């Protein structure tokens, strides 16, 4: 009988230093798949590698052999001794392997639960396996199930809802203030990864003009080019507040860059249109008192982090629902898998009984020779009918799927009773 | 109580339940169900009012029972219209219970048939009443949008997002819808008041007679006129506009009911118990 085996390491079992050593590029994947295919112990195989995990999923004839072969191959490909990464490896088989694949694809095993990229990465890896023809009936079925489960988890639970990064959280908040970002002007003060990411999110959500203010004007010009915006001088900020709607600030300034008085003075000029300040700097750039002015909202890094923490907690709660969906799917897959074994058993059983009947019939007929051809036909028909009647109930029992918790028990008994394995 | 009247209440009540379930469970079909139930209730209500009109031959505002029923009907109609136009789904959690409560109060009041009043047959008066009711229903919705705005603004300002943050739409949409309600409401109210003035002139020979109802209507009108003026010239929006919409509606309630019960005047008939 074939086994489903999964071997891999991820962010929980291996430090980043090891993961980057083992990470496998696309070209290497193709090479690896072809190499694995040549091994007699491996029937079907696929391989996926992301920055957080490297996993080999395979259908094997001989588990120990296959696992060793894969380890050796990785060691050779990446030039590291097996002993260095062996401890970080996990090896799952059967239901556990199936469950692991489902969980990974549904993003239940991700570093940030619910992040959506992983499913796409698995789809890519599967495509690679189909093009190199290393996937077969079992992997095809398993992966299609996987995609289905991942989709179900995403749509039926809130695992992908709510932002879990600072910049996304800021954008989500902005959505609750402005509804849409269309035509909303953005002012970026200073620079920094998180701040720039937030600007990019806003641009993707069709924000209007981007203004960039930087202490060093040249840096501002460069950044403005990147966002197809306009650079302004640092002392023009106060003036710019009259026209912008969203201010993202991330400077190294020890004092507030925008104070309450700046904002208070311009409310009327702005026709009281709302102002949303996102303050990512430490120490803070935006006077927190501004939050008390009407139609002005200030969120600093701690406020945003608070939102992120809450959202992560929400996602983890939703993940429990996801686990239940995965458990269901594992049972479903097991039933399908066991059915695969049923058909050959029924065929063998029938063959065996038919052979016995045929043999006995021949023996008997050799002794009695006075029968007419009509009599012979009648006896043949009777034998056939007996074989059918005898096999009818056991066949029904074996075929009826899902009624018995563990079908393999029945299969096992049948094979033993009739000595089918000899 | 007539069966049709009861059916209307049941529809409104179920709609309210639908909207509340929507608030908690956030499933879109619940909100849709609530909307269609309300629309069904509104249609039945229209038939019921039409039947009453035809049967008595006069506009059904001759006692408090009839008046409240008409109020409920107008709010339902105006809400359905705004819902269709602005898709502020969550406003149903304010409008549906309001409509239902007014209807239930109407049902509890005795429906005393009054002698036929010729004034309730005048087309001027019918237009006057209908326009004012539509106006006030819009302003009632503006108050609802204002309440939701304050809830959402508090969630964002205080940074404790809580129950409502996720469930309420953006401040911009709430503010915008509230404003649209006020513009509609103010326009209809102005039109209705002018109709009333013309009618007064034709009956009593003068436009204005310092009747308490007239005085309070004038105050209400001025209040909303000031609110709109501030918005258009200084961009009064957000929190202040929301609070004003709520205060404005409180004044309307007083003008509508308080004046009739506490003060006297020639508008007394329609709240007769």
- Complex prediction ipTM: 0.84
The angle, 0 to 180 degrees and rounded to 10, between the axes of the packed helices B3-25 and B64-86 is 40
Q: Which chain B residue lies closest to A266 (C-alpha atoms)?
A: B234
User: Which CATH homologous superfamily contains domain A166-308?
Assistant: NAD(P)-binding Rossmann-like Domain (3.40.50.720)
CB nearest to B238's CB, from A272, A299, A306: A272
CA dihedral in degrees (A22, A28, A33, A37; nearest 10)? -100
Query: Mapped to the 3 state alphabet, what secondary structure does A242-304 carry?
Result: CCCCEEEEECCCCCCCECHHHHHHHCCCCCCCCEEEEECCCCCCECHHHHHCCCEEEEEHHHH
Contact A177 B170 (CB under 8 A): yes
CA distance B218 to B231: 20
The tens digit of pLDDT for each residue in B58-107 reads 788 778 888 889 999 999 999 999 888 888 888 999 999 999 999 998 88
H or E element in which residue A6 lies: strand A3-10
Whether residue B63 is contained in a domain is answered as yes
Q: Higher model confidence: residue B266 or residue A256?
A: A256
CB nearest to A177's CB, from B156, B236, B239: B156
Dihedral sign for Cα B134, B137, B143, B146, please.
negative
- Given a contact cutoff of 8 angstroms between Cβ atoms, the answer to whether B228 and B177 are in contact is no
Residue A207, φ and ψ in degrees, nearest 5: -70, 160
The tens digit of pLDDT for each residue in B161-190 reads 788 888 899 999 999 999 999 999 999 999
Whether residue B273 is contained in a domain is answered as no
Residues B15, B134 share a domain: no
Contact B237 A272 (CB under 8 A): yes
Which candidate in A20, A26, A51, A378 is catalytic?
A: A51
Question: Can you give the pLDDT at residue B113?
Answer: 67
Domain range for residue B62?
Answer: 1-117
Whether the pLDDT of residue A119 is over 70: the answer is yes
Binned at pLDDT 50, 70 and 90, residue A345 comes out as confident
Residues B139, B111 share a domain: no
A21 included as an active-site residue: no
CA distance A373 to A291: 105
Interface probe for A, chosen from B172, B179, B230 (most Cβ of A below 10 Å), is: B172
Chain B: closest CA distance from residue A408 (Å): 42
What does the DSSP assignment read for B30-52?
HHHHHHHHHHHHHHHHHHHHHHH
Strand order in the sheet with A3-10: A42-49, A53-60, A3-10, A90-93
A286 Cβ contact list (under 8 Å, min separation 6): A247, A249, A256, A257, A258, A277, A279, A298, A300
- % of chain A beyond a pLDDT of 70: 98
Residues B194, B211 share a domain: yes
Contact A178 B170 (CB under 8 A): yes
- The three-class DSSP label of residue A104 is helix
Paired tokens of A320? 């429990």
Per DSSP, chain B holds a count of helices (H) and strands (E) of: 10, 0
Residues B2, B111 share a domain: yes
Distance of CA B222 to the CA centre of its chain: 19
The secondary structure of residue A116, as a DSSP letter, is: S
- Given a contact cutoff of 8 angstroms between Cβ atoms, the answer to whether A136 and A43 are in contact is yes
Number of domains in chain B: 2
**CA triple B70-B72-B75, angle to 5 deg:** 110
The count of CB pairs under 8 A between chains A and B is: 51
Cis peptide leading into residue A283 (ω within 30°):
yes
Chain A: closest CA distance from residue B165 (Å): 8
Contact B173 A179 (CB under 8 A): yes
What does the DSSP assignment read for A141-170?
HHHHHHHHHHHHHHHHSSTT-S--SHHHHH
In chain A, residues with a C-beta closer than 8 Å to the C-beta of B234 are 268, 271-272
Whether residue B228 is contained in a domain is answered as yes
Question: Can you give the pLDDT at residue A420?
Answer: 82
Residues B146, B78 share a domain: no
Task: Give CATH for domain A3-156.
Answer: 3.30.460.30
Question: Can you give the pLDDT at residue B192?
Answer: 93
Question: Can you give the pLDDT at residue B269?
Answer: 56
Residues B135, B252 share a domain: yes
The tens digit of pLDDT for each residue in A406-415 reads 666 777 788 8
Whether the pLDDT of residue A164 is over 90: the answer is no
**Predicted TM-score (pTM) above 0.80:** no
Whether residue B37 is contained in a domain is answered as yes
Question: Can you give the pLDDT at residue B264?
Answer: 65
Whether residue B272 is contained in a domain is answered as no
Whether residue B247 is contained in a domain is answered as yes
In chain B, residues with a C-beta closer than 8 Å to the C-beta of A291 are 157
Q: Which chain A residue lies closest to B173 (C-alpha atoms)?
A: A179
Paired tokens of B147? 């309440």
Whether the pLDDT of residue B142 is over 90: the answer is yes
Range in A176-185, B105-114, B176-185 the model is least confident about: B105-114
Whether the pLDDT of residue B6 is over 80: the answer is yes
Contact A303 B159 (CB under 8 A): yes
Residues B259, B130 share a domain: yes
Instruction: Please list, residue by residue across B246-269, b when 16 or more beta carbons sit within 10 angstroms of its beta carbon and e when fewer do.
Output: bebbebbebbbeebbeeeeeebeb
Residues B51, B27 share a domain: yes
Whether the pLDDT of residue A421 is over 80: the answer is no
The tens digit of pLDDT for each residue in B219-257 reads 999 999 999 998 888 888 888 899 999 999 999 988 888
For chain A, the domains span: 3-156, 166-308, 336-417
């Amino acid at each position: 009988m074939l086994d489903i085996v999964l071997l891999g390491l991820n962010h929980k079992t291996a430090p980043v230093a090891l993961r980057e050593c083992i990470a496998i590029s696309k070209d290497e994947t193709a090479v690896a798949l072809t190499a694995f295919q040549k091994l007699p112990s491996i029937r079907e195989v696929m391989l996926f590698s992301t920055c957080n995990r490297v996993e080999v999923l395979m259908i094997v004839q001989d588990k120990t052999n296959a696992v060793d072969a894969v380890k050796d191959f990785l060691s050779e490909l990446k030039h590291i001794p097996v002993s260095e990464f062996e401890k970080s490896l996990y090896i799952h088989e059967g239901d556990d392997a199936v469950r692991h694949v489902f969980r990974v694809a549904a993003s239940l095993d991700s570093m940030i639960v619910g992040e959506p990229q992983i499913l796409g990465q698995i789809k890519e890896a599967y495509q690679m396996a189909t093009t190199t023809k290393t996937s077969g009936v079992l992997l095809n079925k398993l992966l299609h199930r996987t995609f289905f489960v991942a989709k179900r988890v995403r749509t039926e639970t809130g695992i992908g809802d709510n932002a879990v990064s600072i910049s996304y959280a800021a954008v989500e908040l902005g959505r609750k203030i402005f509804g849409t970002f269309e035509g909303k002007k953005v002012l970026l003060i200073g620079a920094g990864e998180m701040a720039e990411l937030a600007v990019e999110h806003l641009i993707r959500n069709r924000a209007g003009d981007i203004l960039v203010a930087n202490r060093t004007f040249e840096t501002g010009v460069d950044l403005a080019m990147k966002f197809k915006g306009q650079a302004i001088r640092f002392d023009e900020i106060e003036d710019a507040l009259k026209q912008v709607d969203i201010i993202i600030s991330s400077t190294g300034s020890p004092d507030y860059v925008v104070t309450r008085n700046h904002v208070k003075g311009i409310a009327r000029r702005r026709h009281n249109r709302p102002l949303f300040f996102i303050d990512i700097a430490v120490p803070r750039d935006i006077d927190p008192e501004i939050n008390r002015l009407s139609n002005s909202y200030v969120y600093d890094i701690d406020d945003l982090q608070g939102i992120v923490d809450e959202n992560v907690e929400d996602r983890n709660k939703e993940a429990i629902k996801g686990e239940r969906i995965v458990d269901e799917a594992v049972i479903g897959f097991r039933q399908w898998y066991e059915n695969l074994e049923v058909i050959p058993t029924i065929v063998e059983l029938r063959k065996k009984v038919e052979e016995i009947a045929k043999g006995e019939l021949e023996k008997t007929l050799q002794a009695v020779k006075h029968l007419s051809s009509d009599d012979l036909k009648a006896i043949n028909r009777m034998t056939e009918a007996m074989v059918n009647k005898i096999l009818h109930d056991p066949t029904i029992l074996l075929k009826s799927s899902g009624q018995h918790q563990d079908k393999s028990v029945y299969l096992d008994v049948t094979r033993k009773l009739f000595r089918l394995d000899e | 109580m007539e069966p049709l009247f009861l059916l209307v209440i049941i529809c409104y009540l179920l709609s309210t339940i639908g909207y509340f379930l929507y608030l908690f469970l956030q499933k879109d079909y619940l909100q849709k169900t609530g909307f269609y139930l309300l629309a069904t209730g509104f249609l039945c209500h229209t038939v019921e009012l039409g039947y009453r009109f035809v049967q008595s031959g006069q506009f059904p505002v001759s006692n408090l029972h009839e008046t409240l029923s008409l109020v409920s009907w107008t709010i339902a109609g105006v809400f359905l219209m705004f819902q269709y136009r602005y898709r502020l789904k969550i406003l149903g959690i304010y409008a549906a219970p309001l409509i239902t409560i007014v209807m239930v109060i109407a049902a509890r009041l005795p429906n005393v048939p009054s002698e036929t009043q010729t004034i309730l047959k005048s087309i001027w008066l019918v237009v006057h009443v209908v326009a004012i009711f539509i106006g006030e229903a819009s302003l009632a919705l503006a108050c609802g949008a204002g309440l939701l705005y304050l809830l959402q603004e508090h969630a964002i300002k205080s940074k404790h997002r809580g129950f409502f943050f996720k469930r309420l739409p953006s401040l911009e949409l709430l503010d915008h819808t509230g404003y649209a309600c006020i513009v509609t409401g103010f326009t209809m109210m102005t039109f209705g008041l002018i109709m009333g003035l013309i009618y007064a002139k034709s009956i009593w020979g003068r436009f204005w007679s310092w009747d308490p109802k007239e005085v309070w209507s004038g105050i209400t009108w001025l209040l909303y006129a000031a609110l709109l003026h501030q918005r258009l010239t200084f961009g009064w929006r957000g929190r202040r506009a929301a609070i004003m919409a709520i205060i404005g509606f409180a004044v309307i309630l007083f003008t509508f009911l308080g004046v009739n019960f506490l003060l006297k005047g020639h508008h007394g008939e329609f709240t007769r118990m």
